[in-house]
Amino acid sequence: MRLAYLSHYFPPETNAPAARVHELSRALVDDGHSVHVITGQPNHPRGVIFPGYRAASVRRELIDGITVHRLPTFPAANRGVALRSLGFMLLPVSQVVFGLTRVPEVDCVFATSPQLLTGVAGLALARARRRPFVLEVRDLWPESIVSVGALPRSHPIVRGLERVERGLYHSAAGIVSVTESFVEHFEARGVPRARVDVIKNGIDARLFDPTQTPAPLRERLGIVPDALLVLFCGTIGMA
């Protein structure tokens, strides 16, 4: 399968979306698929372009067998809704134009959210190329914007994004969700359960060695050797 994968983030950015897109793309390549990631220049979270990259450039890289297309980016740190929104709007436009003119023929267009407008770009590209569109929902937008207090639900931007959200859900050939709890959200917006696949976050088991003893960590934390130890690795930082 030949896949165009649209994402707002990709390594060397180190947030969760970048890591997930990279790992999933690498796994697809390992299974014999061709993956073209269409993204921006790395700048998250500080809104500063990473060393070795340029904001206004178009760059092609081959990373772990993944063809990565980096497009001109308007970097904006978490310093205000207006500038960050502008950055969120400009990259999707570039993704559609570049995907139509510079990316080889693909069998499917896959877009991941956050952020929501990446999904709009994916849908536009899929329709222009007459290919199926799959939306991966890793975070509920604009619900997450409201829940963290960035904007009230009554704000015109939130209302507009809610209409975009519903349109994407109903236009996608399939929706990939990271958790069962999101399924209720989709169904409440009229999406049939049969169109949703739940694929939970996983791990690369090759990175872990169960034969190694965690004794030093237990000693440092004051945990007895035979106690059950459970670790939650969540995100504590900027959204």
Domain that holds residue 11: 2-205
- Evaluate whether residue 178 is within a structural domain: yes
The C-alpha atoms of residue 8 and residue 191 are separated, in whole angstroms, by 25
The C-alpha atoms of residue 161 and residue 139 are separated, in whole angstroms, by 14
- Evaluate whether residue 237 is within a structural domain: no
**Contact call for residues 5 and 108 (beta carbons, < 8 A):** no
Predicted local confidence at residue 206, as pLDDT: 79
Give tens-digit pLDDT for 13-50. 988 899 999 999 999 999 999 999 999 999 988 889 99
What does the mean pLDDT of the chain come to? 91
- Evaluate whether residue 83 is within a structural domain: yes
Give tens-digit pLDDT for 171-209. 999 999 999 999 999 999 999 999 999 999 888 887 777
- Evaluate whether residue 228 is within a structural domain: no
Count up the domains in the chain and report the number.
Answer: 1
CATH code of the domain containing 191: 3.40.50.2000
**Contact call for residues 66 and 26 (beta carbons, < 8 A):** yes
204 C-beta neighbours (distance < 10 Å), count: 9
pLDDT at 155 over 80: yes
The mean pLDDT value for 67-79 works out to 86
Residues 6 or more apart whose Cβ sits within 8 Å of residue 165 = 116, 141, 142, 189
Residues constituting the chain: 239
